[in-house]
A = this chain, B = another copy of it.
Amino acid sequence: MKSVAIIAEYNPYHNGHQYHAEMARAKSHADIVIAIMSGQFTQRGEPAIFSKFARAESALNGCDLVVELPQFYAMSYADDFAYGGVKTAQILRADALAFGAECDDLDLLKAEANRVREADIKSGRSYAVMMGDETFSQPNNILAMQYIKAADPMLDLIPIKRIQNHYHDTELTGRIASATAIRKAISAGHDFSESVPASIDTALAVSWEDFFPLLKYKILSHTPEELRNIYMMTEGLENRLKSSIDNSHDFSSYMQTIKTKRYTYTRLQRLLAYTLLNIKEGQPITDIRVLAMNDKGRAYIKGIPHLHTNINKKNASLFAMEIRATQIYNLISGDKRNDFNTPVIYQRTSF
């Protein structure tokens, strides 16, 4: 069976994602569409609006198999995010990798990726630093080039042009809307049902604001020396985080207080997510959690090693960071589904 992988956040899963999955299937002539999806926290260092279980379930509208992008990579900057996604695709033996991009000319993207790689080597600076991380104007192109850099030559690369809306659009635009616009509609209590393929229980929606009391407790209760052990806590940022926390009463005003020209908003937000989750170092990718599948997905994974359809005492240590992220996520979301009591979500394929 031929397979195509998509690396995505699905925050939340919407019609545009479903369209992308259908295009990926058509362009790659694959039998199986695999979603490699971020878990409870996203690349920008935010809690996902819905749990990974709810989002994986939605994604079965278009995908045959949904696996979790390991948490550390899911909340890394573009290089590591792309590396984690491509590595996961390899473990899943994906034949192709489809990705959304502002430009769908693969040769052009490859040439650009090469040009950047060479400039990179010459300047000795990392690509992310050179591009200013999130400041590059076409975010999907950045990721696309990272996938090209990280991918094995055996992996077919399939850029798919984004339609009708841009990544940063904040207004609902009918059937195809951006995830940002949908999150905004959810928090405002507006109807967004036209933009998603399956209904979602919005009572479980969360945002950083909801997690702020825990973050505040964490920063207050630890010394600067202890906070310095958090991943990416460099250059005295621990003092900056501590100095204004006691007088901050919500997440957005706290972010306003700590931000400087030196660090992007996302860089700091990600640091706060590392702090909340108490992440001190990276994790190697050896094993992958399967979150959801239909009959075709189930047939596909048979015989592929290092895939886990449920978590138990024996394999829990392989997914310690994911389990912890869910436990902390659930403290706030009130979601009853955790990694131990939620085996793979299975849906019989309907034709």
Contact = CB atoms under 8 A, between A and B. Distances in A.
B338 A217 contact: no
Contacts of A328: 217, 220-221
A130 interface: no
A163 interface: no
B222 A278 contact: yes
A288 to B, nearest CB: 22
A351 B52 CA distance: 67
A331 B277 contact: no
Copies of this chain in its oligomeric complex: 2
A117 interface: no
B278 A327 contact: no
Interface string A195-236: 000000000000000000110111011100010000000000
Contact of A220 (B216, B221, B222, B324): B324
A244 to B, nearest CB: 13
Interface of A, secondary structure class, is helix
A246 interface: yes
A195 to B, nearest CB: 34
A324 B221 contact: yes
A208 to B, nearest CB: 15
A222 to B, nearest CB: 6
A277 B213 CA distance: 15
Looking at A220, A222, A226, the one whose CB has the most chain B CB atoms below 10 A away is: A220
Given A246-B338, A338-B246, A331 B278 contact: no
A75 to B, nearest CB: 15
A214 B328 CA distance: 11
B338 A221 contact: no
A216 to B, nearest CB: 6
B218 A331 contact: no
Looking at A214, A218, A276, A328, the one whose CB has the most chain B CB atoms below 10 A away is: A214
Contacts of A226: 278
Contacts of A214: 213-214, 217
A229 B123 CA distance: 44
25 contacts: A213-B213, A213-B214, A213-B331, A214-B214, A214-B217, A216-B331, A217-B217, A217-B218, A217-B328, A217-B331, A218-B218, A218-B221, A220-B324, A220-B327, A220-B328, A220-B331, A221-B276, A221-B277, A221-B278, A221-B324, A221-B328, A222-B278, A226-B278, A246-B327, A246-B338
Interface of A: 213-214, 216-218, 220-222, 226, 246, 276-278, 324, 327-328, 331, 338
Given A217-B217, A217-B328, A221-B328, 16 more contacts: A213-B214, A213-B331, A214-B214, A214-B217, A216-B331, A217-B218, A218-B218, A220-B327, A220-B328, A221-B276, A221-B277, A221-B278, A221-B324, A222-B278, A226-B278, A246-B338
